[in-house]
Amino acid sequence: MMEYKNTIIAAIAISEIIEMIGAYGIFKKCGRRPWLAFIPFLRHDRMGKCAGRVQEGRSLALISLGIVVMITTICMFKPNSLQSMISMFLLMLMMIPCVIYSIRVYFGLAAAFGRNRLWVIPWLILRCLCALLWGCSKRFKTAEGYPFDEEEAAPEVSGLEAESLDEGLSINITKRTAMNFLQRKVLLRDIHLSIPKGHMVLLLGGSGSGKTTFLNAVTGYEKAKAVITLAGSNVYKDYKSMKYDIGFVPQQDLVRGSDTVYRTLSDAALLRLPSDMKGDVRRDRINDVLDTFGLTPVKSSLVDKLSGGQRKRLSIAIEYISDPTLFILDEPDSGLDGVMARALFEKLRAIADSGKIVIVITHTPDRVADLFDDVIVVAKDANRTGRLAYYGAREKSYGFFGKKSMEEILMSVNRREEGGEGKADEFVRKYTAAVAGGEL
């Protein structure tokens, strides 16, 4: 038994030494103080910094410390004692976040060295040998542009409080946080803007930049540290009474195939219109909405028999039945061809022109860009927090970003490892300065 223990200790010591040598090389390549590689635990922290994953590196360092404490406890007590069992249980628990944080740090390292993300597998299995290879081999160099955005990270706090509009939407999100694997993550920070009524706004942002989180915070579905006012009323405080003032059309259609179009809308009307509304007034509203969305010819058809475009229009009509002041749509054009998408967005434009506010997420903005008044660009900064990189007139946005299309604007703020130009922080700073200087 003793021999067995000694072998394990010797193996751990050898792998530690190999890893230290490798980490020394990695730190040097990443422009960090290399001697820190020889300090246990701090090494994990610095590895996180090299990978651009500061929080994960720090958490990994703490968990590694916990693991060592647990292993020592297990060795100190008799194998089947209560203390040893508890330590074993805690050790198992710690392994889960340890693996998760390790994966995140290795993903970051792969991006820092411009390598495939699959490298995370050998890193997890043979960490010490991978560290040695990446640290000592000349074939492993940091990627072009490394460290990504680090020196010029966007300011921690930015943005000016948006004024409350009597008839429009004013959004003042200070922060939206969430617990994520034992760690509080800031999903959104400092998003302040006011949208006047009659405006149709494009919400632009890369995958995971925080668009849905932003919309959920605006509608009050998932509250943030924020003040949202719609036509002078506080959305969070008056949530119940304002629920149907805000129409939210999710990406997925939530309609029952076995109902007719009319039945679907009349059920929605029963739910969303005031209960004291007279039957004929309600019927008129249903017919108006059917007309608005070109669904009158198919009002007796089963939902299952509708085309993709008709089904989409029905989903939108369900939310529109309550005549919302603020109308939000998450990718209403997914699955629609260019002509159908254009026709749909023209309807949304008409709704905005009737004095509403329409906010739309679309992944193919350029085919309908001319229909929008304004653009909101949400981008992930160096801390992976969703920030406001632009809000203003669509026409000015091209000049602000120095680009010719919405897709190019999106690429400029997307992170490098996602194929973008990684200029999110630069534009958050530029936007903050422009707003403070009264240029936007």
Ligand X SMILES: Nc1ncnc2c1ncn2[C@@H]1O[C@H](COP(=O)(O)OP(=O)(O)OP(=O)(O)O)[C@@H](O)[C@H]1O
Residues forming contacts to ligand X in the complex (CB under 6 A) are 178, 180, 185, 187, 205, 207-213
* Closest CB to ligand X among residues 17, 178: 178
* Closest CB to ligand X among residues 15, 383: 383
* Closest CB to ligand X among residues 209, 414: 209
Instruction: Give the shortest CB-410-to-ligand X separation in angstroms.
Output: 11
Type of residue at 254: L
Cβ neighbours of residue 259 under 8 Å, at least 6 residues apart?
Answer: 267, 302, 303
Instruction: Give the shortest CB-428-to-ligand X separation in angstroms.
Output: 16
Residues 164, 82: Cα–Cα separation, whole Å? 61
Contact 32, 24 (CB under 8 A): no
Instruction: Give the shortest CB-142-to-ligand X separation in angstroms.
Output: 25
Q: How far is CA 390 from the centre of its chain?
A: 16
* Closest CB to ligand X among residues 22, 48: 48
Burial annotation 94-109 (CB, 10 A radius, 16+ → b, else e): beebbebbbbbbbbbb
* Closest CB to ligand X among residues 61, 204: 204
Q: Are strands 386-393 and 357-361 parallel, antiparallel or unpaired?
A: unpaired
Instruction: Give the shortest CB-352-to-ligand X separation in angstroms.
Output: 22
Q: What are phi and psi of 179, to 5 degrees?
A: -80, 130
Name the strands in the sheet holding 200-204, side by side, starting at the edge strand that comes first in the sequence.
233-234, 225-230, 169-180, 183-195, 386-393, 374-380, 200-204, 357-361, 326-330, 246-249
Q: What are phi and psi of 255, to 5 degrees?
A: -115, 150
Instruction: Give the shortest CB-353-to-ligand X separation in angstroms.
Output: 27
Instruction: Give the shortest CB-62-to-ligand X separation in angstroms.
Output: 20
* Closest CB to ligand X among residues 139, 184: 184
Assigned token pair, 440:
């936007």
Instruction: Give the shortest CB-185-to-ligand X separation in angstroms.
Output: 6
* Closest CB to ligand X among residues 213, 397: 213
Bridge-partner residues for 137, per DSSP? Answer: none
* Closest CB to ligand X among residues 58, 185: 185
As a dihedral over the C-alpha atoms of residue 378, residue 159, residue 161, residue 379, rounded to 10 degrees, the angle is 10
Instruction: Give the shortest CB-47-to-ligand X separation in angstroms.
Output: 22
Q: How many CA atoms lie within 13 A of 230 on its CB side?
A: 22
Residues 406, 203: Cα–Cα separation, whole Å? 11
Residue that has been written with the tokens 């043979």 in this structure: 126
Residue that has been written with the tokens 């966007």 in this structure: 154
